[in-house]
Structure 1
Amino acid sequence: MQDWWQATFPKGRQTLTISDAHGFPIKIAYGEKGSGKPIVLVHGIGSWSYGWRYLIEPLAQHFRVICFDATGHGFSEKPLQAEITHQGRELKQVIQALCEEPAAIVAQSLGALATLAMATEDQSLLTRLVLINVPIFPEQLPSVGMRVLSGVPLHLVQNFDQLRLVRLMAPLVRGVVGLARQEVVANPADITQEDVYWVTYPYIEQPGAIAGFAQSLQQAAREIQRLEQKQPNLISKVQDNLGSITSPTLILWGERDGWFPVSHGEKLHSCLPNSRLEILPDCGHDAAGSFSKQVYAAVLPFLQELPVEQ
């Protein structure tokens, strides 16, 4: 198949070097399309820029669209990160490096939590927020598969990854992912072989991708455990500071999100003073990938409220 980056972005896949918490350089993959006010798309856990495949082109008709793979995901580098807090820090650096002005953020799932984390600390780089199905009030990792993988010792996953055994098991991996995606879409008929191919592509072809995913799951599981035990954690820190976020915010929530119920969206809406909530009927967790037309219809008018230069 044709390289997705080359087919999607005029300059294909580009590389940006940012710094981790210790000042070490990390290379992340990104693409951009369109012109005008900057819009940054932020994917969720286990995903990559392909997750925005149906929204990049229509949004690029109106804005300069930038999407990037978080470290440990997709085509970005996959270093070991001790804590989950690196994601909000990455987003800030991406905006600073690629945007000459504050940007609007459209973020889904864990990417939306990272966006909230950044917003509670610094809103100077933000204009508007679109948050889709956010894991802001989690009780556990949302799927059985995630909970199982998070319990496997990381060194075992790394060994499996480094030996590239996954390439020998590619058909099985795609089959398992195809079944897993039924959890995040309302209509399983929406799942295509092409989508499964590209969703799994980094895991099969990019060394470190499976270990990076497992590490992210372990980080998330630790954060939820700390939340339950009332120990210091990112989630409660964000929860406690939601009221400080004054950026105009649109919250989109899938009516049939099997991972995080609509009540979480309603609670988030009540905590954000300058927010509005829109429930997407018959939509599952992966709204960007399986409900893109409805997401676009909700997002475009909200983003077009951005101030226009005279």
Structure 2
Amino acid sequence: MQDWWRETFPQGRQNLTIIDTNGHPVSIAYGEKGTGKPLILIHGIGSWSYSWRHCIEPLSKHFRVICFDAKGYGFSEKLAYPEHPGHQLIELERIIRALCNEPAIVVAISLGALVSLAVVQENPELFASLVLINVPIFPERLPNRWMRSLSDLPIELLKIVDSLRLTFFFSTLVRAIVRVERREVLVDWSTVTPEEVYWITYPYIYIPGTLAKVTEELQIAAQEIKRLQQKQPNLISKIQARLGEITCPTLIVWGDQDRWFPVTDAEKLRSHMPHSQVKIIENCGHDAPANCPEELNTAILEFLQDTGFTNT
């Protein structure tokens, strides 16, 4: 297979060092393409920059598009110490500050969208506008059975799996499972190609530490959702309580066939955000960038043009 980063970005994969929540330097993998106003694409849980493969080129014709892998994901560094709830908020803020010299357009999906909501509430000066795709702002539980199964496993066990490179030795099985599980986030999962499965699973098979770190993130998410449902202190309810404070223009995008989070959440979220609007994409699942990229790119560009960002 070709180097996806080099094939996608003029300078290939670049690396940025930030100080994370625990005070440790961590290397963040990113790529950029295009010129003009910065537009940052933020992936969801368990994913990496490849999830934006169909959006980068079309959007880069109008903006300086930046993709990055969050700490512990994809090609970014995976540090061994435990993570704490909310670490992504501080790290996203520091990534934006490091890569952008002006307020950015932020396009984010799923957990990345939830994190972006928290960051814009604390740092509105960093955001020119916001696009939220299928954001889990009103979750009841982890949406996927594999996520729930992984979140119940001891981290130490997953570290052993990583250290023994078991995902590499059982790579055929890992890819087969992922291909089948794609049916939950796509309307027509039969169109998934071997190349897509190869790159989606690449970090888990070839980059040690990925499985354990992603599982740790799933455990944190599961704990936060449980606290939300039990009305205990949690980050999600804090984000919910401050939705009305967000003043930057916001587009809420939802796939009408999202099996993870109901499409009715889109209008529910809009009712809490006076500066937002909703776009429902028909025949589209949770993974909108893969499922319906043309419709998604069109919705993003039309929204940005309507809200005063001139396309170059």
TM over 0.5: yes
Q: After superposition, where does 1:42-57 map in structure 2 within 5 Å?
A: 42-57=42-57
Tell me the equivalent position of 1:84.
85
* 1:255-275 per-position Cα deviation (integer Å, ceiling 9, x unaligned): 000000011111111111100
Tell me the equivalent position of 1:189.
190
* 1:257-307 per-position Cα deviation (integer Å, ceiling 9, x unaligned): 000001111111111110000111010000011210100110012123344
Tell me the equivalent position of 1:285.
286
Structure 2: distance between partners of 1:164 and 1:31: 27
Structure 1: distance between partners of 2:191 and 2:109: 19
* 1:133-170 per-position Cα deviation (integer Å, ceiling 9, x unaligned): 00100000001111011000010001111111111100
SS of the aligned residue for 1:257 comes to coil
Tell me the equivalent position of 1:13.
13
Q: After superposition, where does 1:1-310 map in structure 2 within 5 Å?
A: 1-79=1-79, 80-304=81-305, 305-307=307-309
Residue 265 of structure 2 aligns with an amino acid whose one-letter code is H
* 1:51-110 per-position Cα deviation (integer Å, ceiling 9, x unaligned): 000000010001000010001100001124432312122221111111110100000000
SS of the aligned residue for 1:124 comes to helix
CA contact (8 A) 1:34 1:65 kept: yes
Structure 2: distance between partners of 1:303 and 1:89: 26
CA contact (8 A) 1:104 1:126 kept: yes
SS of the aligned residue for 2:196 comes to helix
Residue 268 of structure 1 aligns with an amino acid whose one-letter code is L
Distance change (3 Å), C-alpha of 1:307 and 1:55? closer
SS of the aligned residue for 1:134 comes to coil
CA contact (8 A) 1:190 1:290 kept: no
Query: What is the CA distance between 1:228 and its match in structure 2?
Result: 1.4
| C-alpha RMSD over aligned residues | 1.2
Query: What is the CA distance between 1:230 and its match in structure 2?
Result: 1.6
Structure 1: distance between partners of 2:5 and 2:241: 38
Identity of aligned residues (%): 56
Structure 1: distance between partners of 2:99 and 2:113: 19
Aligned length: 309
Structure 2: distance between partners of 1:308 and 1:23: 39
Residue 155 of structure 2 aligns with an amino acid whose one-letter code is L
Distance change (3 Å), C-alpha of 1:246 and 1:62? same
Deviates further, 167-176 or 182-191: 182-191
Residue 70 of structure 1 aligns with an amino acid whose one-letter code is A
Structure 1: distance between partners of 2:12 and 2:124: 30
SS of the aligned residue for 2:78 comes to coil
CA contact (8 A) 1:127 1:306 kept: no
SS of the aligned residue for 2:31 comes to strand
Deviates further, 83-92 or 57-66: 83-92
CA contact (8 A) 1:139 1:224 kept: yes
Structure 2: distance between partners of 1:64 and 1:17: 20
5+ residue gaps, structure 1, are: none
Structure 2: distance between partners of 1:199 and 1:30: 16
Structure 2: distance between partners of 1:17 and 1:81: 19
Structure 1: distance between partners of 2:304 and 2:13: 25
Residue 33 of structure 2 aligns with an amino acid whose one-letter code is K
Deviates further, 107-116 or 297-306: 297-306
